[in-house]
Amino acid sequence: MKGGTRLAIAGRAIPPGSVVQIFLKVSEYYTAAPVNVPITVVRGARRGPIVFLTAAIHGDELNGVEVVRRIMTSTSPETLRGALICAPVVNRPGFLTHSRYLPGHQDLNRCFPGDPDGNAAQRLAHILFREIVRRADRGIDLHTASHGRTNLPHVRADMADETVRRMARNFGSEIIVDTPGMAHTLRAAATGAGVPTIIFEAGETFRFQRSMVARGVRGVRNVLAALKMIPAPRRSARFQVVVKVSEWVRAPRGGIADVLVRPGEIVYPGDVIASITNPFGREVSSVRATLTGLVLGINTVPLAHPGDAICHIARLRRTLATLESFAVTDSRGRRVLLIEGA
C-alpha cells in the first residue's frame, strides 16, 4: 500500500493532514504557454490507501467533473485515512474547446499508459499516468456516453480481478458490465499496471445531470467507505447483476430514426426498438430486437446512416428473472427498471 510512503506529485510533497492543489504541466500550446491539469490532493492525517479520481478524459463529459469536485471539496483530511488524488478535468484542451478530443482529433483514452517519446497525446498520457495513476493503489474513472448518446448509469469493471470485483460491487450500481476494457484506455492500462480501476458511466455529454452526479458521488463514497478511508456507512443497491455480453443494434437503412426504447428497459426478441422513416416519402422501416436484453444506452441523434448505432443492449440470460422482478410495466406496456437517474 502506497498510503504509508512519501507522497509527491510533480516533485511537490503532500504532507499528511493537508489539501494541496498542483498545476501539473502536461504539454504546451503552440504559443509556448503551458498546458496545465489542475490536481487536488486530499491527504489524510492517518495512513491508508491512495485512490485517484479522474473525469473529463473526454473533454465533453461533464457529469464526472461535478462528482470529483463534490468529493474533493467535502472530504476533510482530519477524517480521511490515506489520500485522494483528484483530477476533475483531465483533458483540459478538449474541455476548453467543447471537444471530446485533444487537438488533432486524438482520443486521450486510447493512449495510456503513454509514451514519453510518442505523439502529443501519448506524451500527455505518459505524464498523467506517471503522476496520477502510479501514485495510487486504486482508481475510479468517471464517464458519460459519447456525443449524441445517453447511458444508463452502470459500472464497467474487469471482474476477473479480485480487487476490481470488490470495488465494482462496493460502488453500489445495480448494473455491472464485466469487461476488461479496450487496450490503451486508462482503466485497462491502470489495472494492468497493478492499480485496480473501475469506471462509472452515466448520462450524456455537455450536461450536469443532478441525478447522475448524485449516483456517482454516492458510489465513490461507497468505495471509500469500504476501504475504511472515510467514516461513512456503505449504501447497497436494491439489486445487483453482472452482464458480460452486449451489442449495438444498428440502422439497416438511412433516414430519421425514432428510437422507441430508453435506458433501463428490458427488450425481447421481436420488440420494435426504433422506426426509420424516409423524410421525403412514405417508407417506414421497423428495427426489432433480436435478443433478450437490457438497454444500456441509446442514440439521441435521429439522423441515421446505414450501420449507425441505435441502441446498446446487454444480453440477459441467468439474470433476466432478477431484473424482471424489479421492473415495472409502463404506459406503453414496456418492462422498465426503476433505477434512479435512468
Question: Partners of 53 in the beta sheet?
Answer: 86, 140
On whether residue 342 sits in a domain, the answer given is no
In a domain, 147, yes or no: yes
Kindly state whether residues 95 and 164 are assigned to the same domain: yes
Same domain, 199 and 267: no
The CATH number covering residue 189 comes to 3.40.630.10
Q: Which one of 197, 226, 255 terminates a domain?
A: 226
In a domain, residue 235? The reply is no
303-304 β-sheet, strand order:
284-288, 272-277, 255-259, 303-304
Our CA dihedral for 253, 258, 263, 268, rounded to 10 degrees, sits at: -60
Which amino acid type is present at position 171? F
CA angle 170, 229, 138 (to 5 degrees): 60
Could you tell me if 86 and 42 are in contact, meaning their C-beta atoms sit under 8 angstroms apart?
yes
Are 177 and 259 contained in the same domain? no
299 with 188, same domain: the answer is no
On whether the CB atoms of residues 336 and 264 are closer than 8 A, the answer is: yes
Per-residue pLDDT 10s for the chain (342 aa) are 675 578 999 999 999 999 999 999 999 998 999 999 999 999 999 999 999 999 999 999 999 999 999 999 999 999 999 999 999 999 999 999 999 999 999 999 999 999 999 999 999 999 999 999 999 999 999 999 999 999 999 999 999 999 999 999 999 999 999 999 999 999 999 999 999 999 999 999 999 999 999 999 999 999 999 999 999 888 888 899 999 999 999 999 999 999 999 999 999 999 999 999 999 988 899 999 999 999 999 999 999 999 999 999 999 999 999 999 999 988 888 888 877 656
CA distance 262 to 336: 9
Burial class (CB in 10 A: 0-12, 13-18, 19+), 78: exposed
- Write the CATH number for 319: 2.40.50.100
Instruction: Print the domain residue range for 176.
Output: 2-226
Phi, psi for residue 212 in degrees, rounded to 5: -70, -40
